[in-house]
């Protein structure tokens, strides 16, 4: 009994002292058979298409008129990093539907000649809530162009799904290009968005 209580106290203490770099829980993502079955049904259903259509519409609106976008989505555009952030807390989608989108993006990115570098989940204390982040980090498969430069495709891609107190909060997708003469120029982020949503 004392050993059990010591383990509980140790876990509580470590969660209070945890951070994104020192999480209380850090695990590789493993999906259950039932999750995979639900995911397959979601991909064949109308909610999947509706969400992708909405993302595509918002991206197009942002390209044409930045004032026209829904406040539930943001776009990042810097010289080296492009991305989107979907604020699921405002949209009414379930935790499962958000996870399905996370895994769908991973699946679509892998189809673009990418490999999964890591898929993990981290749980830690943050302010007054417990935060859990599920992450897929993908890198292009090594290829060289005619000039001997490395083909970076869209750059390294990270997809993060954040939960606060076990409720879905947001999903962020970012593509970061290498700014190095060993690499050729990255492909347009708009083309990645097209491949992810159409």
Average pLDDT over residues 129-156: 91
Range of the domain at 164: 2-197
Q: Do the bridges between strand 114-126 and strand 129-140 make them parallel or antiparallel, or are there none, so unpaired?
A: antiparallel
pLDDT (0 to 100) of residue 4? 45
- From the list 97, 103, 90, the residue with the least C-alpha distance to 134 is 103
- CA torsion sign, 77 to 131 to 123 to 12? positive
User: What pTM was estimated for this model as a whole?
Assistant: 0.87
Q: How many CB atoms lie within 10 A of CB 117?
A: 13
| 198 vs 193: CA distance, rounded Å | 8
pLDDT tens digit sequence for 75-96: 999 989 999 999 998 899 999 9
Domain count, the chain: 1
Give the residue ranges of DSSP H helices in the chain.
Answer: 2-16, 33-43, 46-64, 95-110, 189-197
**Where on the phi/psi map is residue 168: left (φ > 0), alpha (ψ -120 to 50), or beta?**
beta
Instruction: Give the model confidence (pLDDT) of 3-43 as tens digits.
Output: 544 544 455 555 566 676 677 889 999 999 999 999 999 99
d(CA 162, CA 155): 22
């Amino acid at each position: 009994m004392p050993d059990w209580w010591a383990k509980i106290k140790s876990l509580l203490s470590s969660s209070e002292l945890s951070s994104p770099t020192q999480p209380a829980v850090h695990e590789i993502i493993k999906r259950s058979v039932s999750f995979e079955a639900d995911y397959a049904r979601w991909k064949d259903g109308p909610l999947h298409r509706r969400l992708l259509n909405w993302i595509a519409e918002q991206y197009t609106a942002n390209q044409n008129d930045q004032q026209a976008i829904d406040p539930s989505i943001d776009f990042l555009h810097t010289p080296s990093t492009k991305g989107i952030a979907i604020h699921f807390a405002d949209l009414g989608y379930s935790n499962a539907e958000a996870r399905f989108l996370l895994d769908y993006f991973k699946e679509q990115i892998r189809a673009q000649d990418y490999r999964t570098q890591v898929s993990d989940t981290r749980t830690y204390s943050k302010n007054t809530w417990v935060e859990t982040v599920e992450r897929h980090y993908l890198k292009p498969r090594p290829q060289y162009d005619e000039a001997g430069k490395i083909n970076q495709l869209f750059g390294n891609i990270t997809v993060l799904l954040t939960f606060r107190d076990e409720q879905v909060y947001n999903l962020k997708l970012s593509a970061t290009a290498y700014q190095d003469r060993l690499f050729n120029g990255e492909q347009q982020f708009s083309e990645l968005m097209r491949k992810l949503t159409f």
